[in-house]
Amino acid sequence: MSNLWLIHSEAESMDGAPIIRLEGISKSFAELKANGDISLSLHQGRVLALLGENGAGKSTLMSILAGQLQPDEGVIYLHEKPLNISSTDKAIEAGIGMVYQHFTLVAAMSVAENIFLGHRAPLFHRRRTLEKRVRELAEAYAMDINPAARIADLSMGEKQQVEILKLLSRDADVLIFDEPTAVLTPLEVEGLFTTIGMLKKAGKAIVFISHKLDEVMAIADDIAVLRRGRIVDVRPALQVSSTAELASLMVGREVLLTVERQPMPTRQLLLRASGLSADVARNVDLQVRQGEIVAIVGVAGNGQKPLIEAICGLRRPDSGDLELFGKPWREFFSRYCQDNILSYISEDRQGLASCQELDLLDNFLLTTRFDFCSGPFLLKQRARRTISGLLEEFGVTPPDPQAQAWQLSGGNLQKMVLSREFYRKPLLIVAEQPTQGLDIGAIEEVWKLLLMAREQAGILLITSDLGEALSLADRVAVMYGGLVVDTFSRHDDYKVEQIPQMMAGLWPPKSDELTRMATA
Amino acid sequence: MDIAILIPLLAATVQSGTPILYATLGEIITERSGVLNLGVEGIMIVGALTGFVVSLTTGNPWLAFFAAGAAGCLMAAVHGVVVLLFLGNQVVSGLAITIFGLGLANYFGTPFVGQAAPGFDPFALPILGNIPALGEIFFRHDVLVYISYLLPLAIWLFLYVTRIGLNLRATGEAPVAARAAGIGVVAYRWLGIIMGGFCMGCGGAYLSLAYTHLWTNNLTGGRGWIAVALVIFSFWRPQRAVFGAYLFGGIMAVQLRLQASGTTIPSSLLLMLPYTLTIAVLVFSSWRRGSTGEPAALGTTIEPRQ
């Protein structure tokens, strides 16, 4: 089926040779394959959307194209000639420009100065001349921007326009937008889409990286879906029937692994949220009992983050009830340290879950220190013996308590964090993307550990991988737009089937659709 | 105050402000590229000694002046090697340069203590020197003072009108952005360090070739530190450095006069004045947060490309 689509897409876009063609691009970081055998074509005047979850390999792929990373294998062709993009300068020379998610602008300088930064220009410049050229360029693409304004005084949307103008002033033919709408207001998003339309008309090739389905449907001519470092599908946008189809492509249904799971009697209620609101998460009802895994699935950015933060005590709930272990939120977190029964396995391994500059022993003691205390003193010898055993058991390389956290690859760091958190034997575990960026062997281990922990604890699993959710969870909650759309048992086959619809905000179906379904 | 006292005092202000101005401008260039160089004091005194020795042996003050600048470059390059090549801590390296420079100059300078070397003598500029009051204050000095009048303008032009200056400022503000724009950020930091070192060395040379023609140990007497503070006072702008240097030069001149006139105010209190002013300025500039013009990436280390 997917091969058929591929042929279609090539036929559709054969109206010109591609500007850029990627062939068999692979890139690995340590044991993790970030990109595997990726082939794509970028055409003049077309928008290619690169769709995928966080960690799917979108950024790696585009960093290769922008000259920041070198591929392990594969060739990039510019107008069908092989091109070696060994640095960002080379990429700029080849006409490839990237609008980064985090803008690379000098805040203290003017718009015009930023645009001409690094240009090969005469030694002396006149501010007026620069500003005039910027104004002309902006007008050509119907952008409204004051060339003399300081970057620090601009809105996010305007800063993005400056980034685009920077690339245009260097005659970029290929513009890559990395999650461009993440920082924009809805009105600014419209402005961006207008600009992209102008760029298309001017014959530029656009890459639009996103995980927002609606936007991709609105702007893309071709859609490539990336999952776990591989292209799972490429097709013209016209041949995509709905956002639900994209959602199911993005999260995947294939079961990578099978883990044995025994049914478990559920016991004590550990977590109860009712009508909970925190930031964009609204009116959430959620329960987690001892002995079950509840998976929250959904496209990232639909309110999972603030919900987790509220549950883990990092953010005060705006309204509604949140009880942990039968105690109200405030009371529980006032004596959180003494209890030490809640574990948060953060997605942000380098930032939240570990201290980069500390060694593994100190990182281990971050959350387990209460077990290794004697009065004011830490029992480091005992802790070292314990952690050495754990590092061996979890297969962390290097298994050296004196190694510093930054020396470990993402996967190994995650194993260290997991070994630490499981050592505590917590009663409630909040695991956020616990297998993101891990290789297949490590994923299996983590899954087994989670299932083992389920015997003692309740687990709230937040994942954007549907296969993972369905392999592990007893119950599934789907989030969209800050709401929990529905919560149902893993064995409710009808609803499991509808998860992509729910993730795309098409649930429950509107009444006329229901009648249409009934008549059909 | 009597005009007959005031005019010589203001002339002395210009004189004692000049070495500070050279050093401040040097530090501004360096910090604008994102490198904090606390070695100004050490670089100045090595420049001063080099200038003095070269002048003593060759009898050519101009050669001595440029030798002092070159010595400043060399000292600054040591800082550059530590912070740019080995990614060392800029504060620690700068402090080490100061201690190293002071020790070096005092050790090699001891045999020269009390000797006199040929240097730059004051002369009145034609026409300008005859303007009443102003002529006496500004235009009856040595050539190094006249150069220092042009230097702020030259550096302003360099920073704001040339492409190299734009790239240098971008390196100091946002090295990541500059690198993304294809700028060789480490090269521009080297440029800032070396240009700055030259100016600092010249500031030292002013002390041993023009301000006095003598060598004494600890000739710089903390002027390098005042320059570091003046950079903040001038909000990293060369044009404002002029006012700062003369303000501090004035305070130094006044306290010298007051000491000479046998005032009852303890001299240590007077010596403290410039630093008290510095603290006041720092407090003031932190109130006006965001508009001080401090390079955003000042003191940061640039990691090499993977």
Domain locations along chain B:
3-287
Of A241-255, A336-350, A481-495, B85-99, least confident by mean pLDDT is A241-255
With H, G, I as helix, E, B as strand and everything else as coil, classify residue B160.
helix
A106 contacts B174? CB cut-off 8 A: yes
Instruction: Give the residue, A69 or B103, on which the prediction is more confident.
Output: B103
pLDDT confidence of residue B190: 97
A109 contacts B170? CB cut-off 8 A: yes
B162 contacts A123? CB cut-off 8 A: yes
A124 contacts B162? CB cut-off 8 A: yes
The highest-confidence range among A93-97, A129-133, B65-69, by mean pLDDT, is B65-69
| Neighboring chain A residues of B306 at a CB cutoff of 8 Å | 69
Question: From the candidates A93, A106, A113, A153, which should be mutated to test the interface with B, based on the most B CB atoms within 10 A?
Answer: A106
- Which helix or strand (DSSP H or E) is residue A479 part of? strand A475-480
A2-240 CATH, one of 3.40.50.300, 3.40.640.10, 3.30.499.10, 3.40.50.720 = 3.40.50.300
pLDDT value at A9 more than 60: no
- Which helix or strand (DSSP H or E) is residue A320 part of? strand A319-324
Half-sphere exposure of B270 (CA within 13 A, CB side): 18
Let me know: does A192 contact A160? Beta carbons within 8 Å: yes
Tokens 């920082």 sit at which residue?
A: A183
Q: Round to whole Å and give the CA distance between A448 and A444.
A: 6
- Cα B44 from chain centroid (whole Å): 8
Number of CB pairs, chain A paired with chain B, less than 8 A apart: 67
Identify the band that residue A519 occupies on the pLDDT scale cut at 50, 70 and 90: low
For residue A438, the one-letter residue type is L
| Neighboring chain A residues of B184 at a CB cutoff of 8 Å | none
Identify the band that residue A351 occupies on the pLDDT scale cut at 50, 70 and 90: confident
Q: Round to whole Å and give the CA distance between A219 and A238.
A: 11
> Scanning every residue of chain B, which has its alpha carbon at the shortest distance from the alpha carbon of A87?
B182
pLDDT confidence of residue A339: 67
pLDDT confidence of residue A514: 55
Q: What is the mean pLDDT of chain B?
A: 90
Of A422, A415, A407, A469, give the one whose Cα is nearest residue A437.
A415
Kindly state the average pLDDT of the residues B120-143: 90
* Tens-place pLDDT, residues B55-90: 999 999 999 999 999 999 999 999 999 999 999 999
A436/chain B closest Cα distance in angstroms: 24
* Tens-place pLDDT, residues A70-93: 999 999 999 989 988 888 788 888
Identify the band that residue A7 occupies on the pLDDT scale cut at 50, 70 and 90: very low
Q: B8 to each of A34, A209, A312, B15, B131, how far by Cα in Å?
A: 74, 70, 71, 10, 15
pLDDT value at B120 more than 90: yes
Q: Round to whole Å and give the CA distance between A247 and A251.
A: 6
pLDDT value at A340 more than 80: no
Kindly state the average pLDDT of the residues B122-146: 90
B233/chain A closest Cα distance in angstroms: 18
A73/chain B closest Cα distance in angstroms: 18
Identify the band that residue A336 occupies on the pLDDT scale cut at 50, 70 and 90: low
Q: Round to whole Å and give the CA distance between B93 and B80.
A: 9
Instruction: Give the residue, A106 or A504, on which the prediction is more confident.
Output: A106
pLDDT confidence of residue B232: 86
Task: Provide long-range contacts, Cβ within 8 A and 24+ apart, for A383-386.
Answer: A386/A423
B160/chain A closest Cα distance in angstroms: 9
Question: From the candidates A117, A120, A126, A406, which should be mutated to test the interface with B, based on the most B CB atoms within 10 A?
Answer: A117
pLDDT confidence of residue A241: 80
* Tens-place pLDDT, residues A352-406: 888 988 999 999 998 888 888 888 888 989 999 999 999 988 888 788 888 888 8
The highest-confidence range among A209-218, B9-18, B248-257, by mean pLDDT, is B9-18
pLDDT confidence of residue A101: 79
Q: What is the mean pLDDT of chain A?
A: 85
List of residues 6+ apart from B5 with CB closer than 8 A: none
Nearest CB among B161, B182, B306 relative to A125 is that of: B161
| Neighboring chain A residues of B297 at a CB cutoff of 8 Å | none
Q: Does domain B3-287 have CATH number 1.10.510?
A: no
Kindly state the average pLDDT of the residues A489-510: 84
User: Could you tell me which residues are beta bridge partners of residue A429?
Assistant: A343, A459
pLDDT value at A350 more than 50: yes
Let me know: does B52 contact B100? Beta carbons within 8 Å: no
Torsion of CA A66, A67, A73, A78, to 10 degrees: 60
Instruction: Give the residue, B48 or B263, on which the prediction is more confident.
Output: B48
B169 contacts A107? CB cut-off 8 A: no
pLDDT value at B32 more than 80: yes
> Scanning every residue of chain B, which has its alpha carbon at the shortest distance from the alpha carbon of A127?
B161
Residue B154: Cβ within 10 Å count: 12
Q: Hey, what are A33's tokens?
A: 């394959």
Chain B contacts to A (CB-CB under 8 A): 161-164, 166-167, 169-170, 173-174, 176-183, 293, 295-296, 305-306
pLDDT confidence of residue A511: 59
Q: Round to whole Å and give the CA distance between B144 and B14.
A: 11
A2-240 and A254-341+427-520 agree in CATH topology? yes
B19/chain A closest Cα distance in angstroms: 29
Tokens 């500003």 sit at which residue?
A: A131
User: Could you tell me which residues are beta bridge partners of residue A73?
Assistant: A26
Kindly state the average pLDDT of the residues B91-120: 94
A421/chain B closest Cα distance in angstroms: 33
Q: B20 to each of A423, A514, B251, how far by Cα in Å?
A: 62, 82, 12
| Neighboring chain A residues of B163 at a CB cutoff of 8 Å | 116, 119, 121-125
Q: Round to whole Å and give the CA distance between A357 and B143.
A: 53
At the topology level of CATH, where does A254-341+427-520 sit?
Rossmann fold (3.40.50)
DSSP A396-456: -SS--TTSBGGGS-HHHHHHHHHHHHHHT--SEEEEESTTTT--HHHHHHHHHHHHHHTTT
Q: Round to whole Å and give the CA distance between A168 and A137.
A: 8
Identify the band that residue A309 occupies on the pLDDT scale cut at 50, 70 and 90: very high
**Beta-strand relationship, A96-99 and A174-178:** parallel
Q: Round to whole Å and give the CA distance between B28 and B25.
A: 5
- Boundaries of every domain in chain A: 2-240, 254-341+427-520, 348-425
B167 contacts A125? CB cut-off 8 A: no
Instruction: Give the residue, B306 or A430, on which the prediction is more confident.
Output: A430
Q: Round to whole Å and give the CA distance between B161 and A238.
A: 51
Is residue A415 classed exposed, middle or buried when 0-12, 13-18 and 19+ CB atoms within 10 A define those classes?
buried
Kindly state the average pLDDT of the residues B182-206: 95
List of residues 6+ apart from A455 with CB closer than 8 A: A264, A291
Kindly state the average pLDDT of the residues A395-423: 85
A109 contacts B182? CB cut-off 8 A: no
